[in-house]
Structure formats: C-alpha cells, structure tokens
A and B are shown apart, each in its own frame.
Chain A
C-alpha cells in the first residue's frame, strides 16, 4: 500500500468505519486487519519510538504488537474501544521490553535503554552537525523533565501530547477514571510549566524555524 492509498484509506475510514473494520477483522477477514494495521502503524511506531528511542527496537516491537492484536482481537468485546485497547497492548509490550532490558542490563548482557540520553539515539532525519546538537539538547531537556514526573504522570503526559489521545481514551487505556487522569495531567503540566529551560529552548527553536521559513 503506497502513501496516497494510505492517506485515502485514513480519510475514508475515520471514526465509525474503524469499528466496522474491527468487526470484520474479528471475523477473520485478513484484508480488514491489514487496513487496521495501515491505519494505526504510524501512531504505534511513534508511541514505541518515543519510549524506547531506538528505531530497530521500535520496528520489532511494533511488529510484535500487531501480531498480539491479531491473536487477541477475537477477545475484544467492544469494537468501539479498539484504539484504547490497542494502546494498552502497545504500552504493555513497551513495559515488558524495558523490564527485560533492565534484567539483562543488571547482568551486563545489554545496556539499559530506558534511561538512555540523547547520545544513544540513532541519527535518522537530520544528519547535520547543528541539528544533531539541537536534537541532543532537546532529548536531554525531555529526559530531565520526565525524570521529575511520576510514572503515571509521564504516561498520561505522553499519551496526551505525543500520542494525541483524548482524556477518555487515556482513561480507557490506563484503566483509570477520567478525573484521576486529569489530576495526573494537571501535575505533569505544572512541572512542564515550571521547567523554564525547556520552554525557552522550544521557544527559541520555534522562532528559528519561523525565521528560516520567512
């Protein structure tokens, strides 16, 4: 499926159509499942990449996630809740990955990726020296910010602003009430607001991009 076809599919299959696809996929329709993959692969890869910061690991995990989805899809009771259910599986797989990595790192078999700083992130988009420095700085800001978050605050913050889930979807994904999600998000945003260096960095970068385009 090429990019134009994917975009057309995304436009034509918004909202209620996804439920219909889920129903078909539950019935064993492989085409419907492949369409579901095409619709959600970018956002799931994004979710995984932001939490692992490794392209190869993210590719493998994304593949695993969709295999799990295919395996357990018949167990999904409400097809309207497909997206939170998918995110739940993805988050669980990412947590398993970190747990396994920590265990291996403890015995010196591998390096723990959860606390990896910017230097460990693979270059992919902007190979220029300046861009590399900017990216490193950005990731060090993100690392410092997320270290101040509790685990739940971090999860809710990322799901809201990186993965673009609404409050209801986050609540369903994390099996919490909406008010609990609001509380975690409130605390996380307050910490974000207090981090003036990150705000200044983002403001500067944004201004720089604006100057470049003009």
Chain B
C-alpha cells in the first residue's frame, strides 16, 4: 500500500477551505493522521475565533429597517384620471386665482412709477422757474428790452466794458 507523507501547509489551508475537494489519498490521510487533523483544526479554530470576536463587535440595538407605509391618496389620482376635463378646469381656475393678484399689483406698480416720474419732471420745471425769478436777466438784456424804460448806462454800453457780455471787437494787426 502506498504510504503518503503528512499534508504540507498549503494542503492544510486547502483542507480548511473545502475538505471534500481534496484528493482522495490526502483526504484519507487527513482522516487517519491526528497530527494533520490537529493542524487543520487549529487553523479552523483560529478563523472561528476571528469570526466570533468580529461578531461580538456588531451592535445589537440597531434601528430595524422598515417598509414605507402604503401611499394614501390613490383615490385622488383616480379622480384625475377619470375626469381629465374637470381637472383641467380646476387647475386653470387655481392658476387664474393665483396669477390675478400678481397682474393687478404689477399694474399698480407701473402706474406709481409713471406718476412719480411726472412729479419729478414737474419739480424740475418749477425749480427752473424759481431760478429765473430769483436771477433776473443780465443788465444788457434789461437795457435792450424796451426803449426809454431808463437811461442807458454809457459805461456798460461800451463794447468790451466790465458788465458788457458782448464780445470785444477784434483788433487786427493791420489797424495797429
């Protein structure tokens, strides 16, 4: 009868994974040899200890998963499907009701803006009028505004005089 050697490390690992998958001779040896069996069991015990310790780390008081409650309001959905015209009318009414105040407010805002702009223009115009009242026309224009209203100012009537707004006549080089 062929005598088989002890299982090596790799074969022990293979046996720990799947003993049935081992070669027939190796399997028979493993069942008879206490040393090989002990090695395999030691490895399996180490793995079992690892699994046991790991599982001891898992919390037990966790929040259990729940299925969401069945949707209520399925009846409403059916109403929409059965009466599409009615639902469209209802939707449009809601839309109109919702939009009306927005449109009205929009007009109000627009009117306010126009009035405000006009008031500003009026104020500007009135300010100009007041300005003209406060600052009368320059003397020259007053002088020429009407004959005989008062004596002409000879000094100011001279071209180029202090109060004269008329441009001074150009003096050419030829005249000089």
- A residues neighboring B (CB under 8 Å): 30, 33-34, 37, 41, 45-46, 49-50, 55, 58-59, 62-63, 65-67, 70, 121, 124-125, 135, 138-139, 142, 161-162, 164, 167, 182, 185-186, 189-190, 192-193, 198-199, 202-203, 205-206
Contacts and interface: CB of A to CB of B under 8 A. Distances in A.
A185 B46 contact: no
Contact of B51 (A124, A162, A193): A162
Nearest 10 pairs of A and B residues by beta carbon = A124-B59, A66-B65, A202-B49, A59-B63, A161-B51, A63-B65, A46-B58, A189-B13, A62-B65, A206-B49
Given A63-B63, A182-B17, 11 more contacts: A30-B67, A30-B70, A41-B64, A50-B58, A63-B65, A67-B65, A67-B68, A125-B60, A142-B54, A164-B51, A205-B49
A5 B8 CA distance: 48
A16 B21 CA distance: 26
B58 A202 contact: no
Most A CB within 10 A of own CB, among B13, B14, B58, B61: B58
25 contacts: A33-B67, A34-B67, A37-B64, A41-B65, A45-B58, A45-B62, A49-B58, A58-B62, A59-B62, A62-B62, A62-B65, A66-B67, A70-B67, A125-B57, A138-B53, A162-B54, A162-B55, A186-B13, A186-B14, A192-B46, A192-B50, A193-B43, A202-B50, A202-B53, A205-B49
B64 to A, nearest CB: 6
A189 B66 CA distance: 37
| Interface of chain A: mostly helix, strand, loop or mixed | helix
Contacts of B67: 30, 33-34, 37, 66-67, 70
Contact of B47 (A65, A186, A189): A189
Nearest to A145: B50
A172 to B, nearest CB: 16
B18 interface: yes
A127 to B, nearest CB: 12
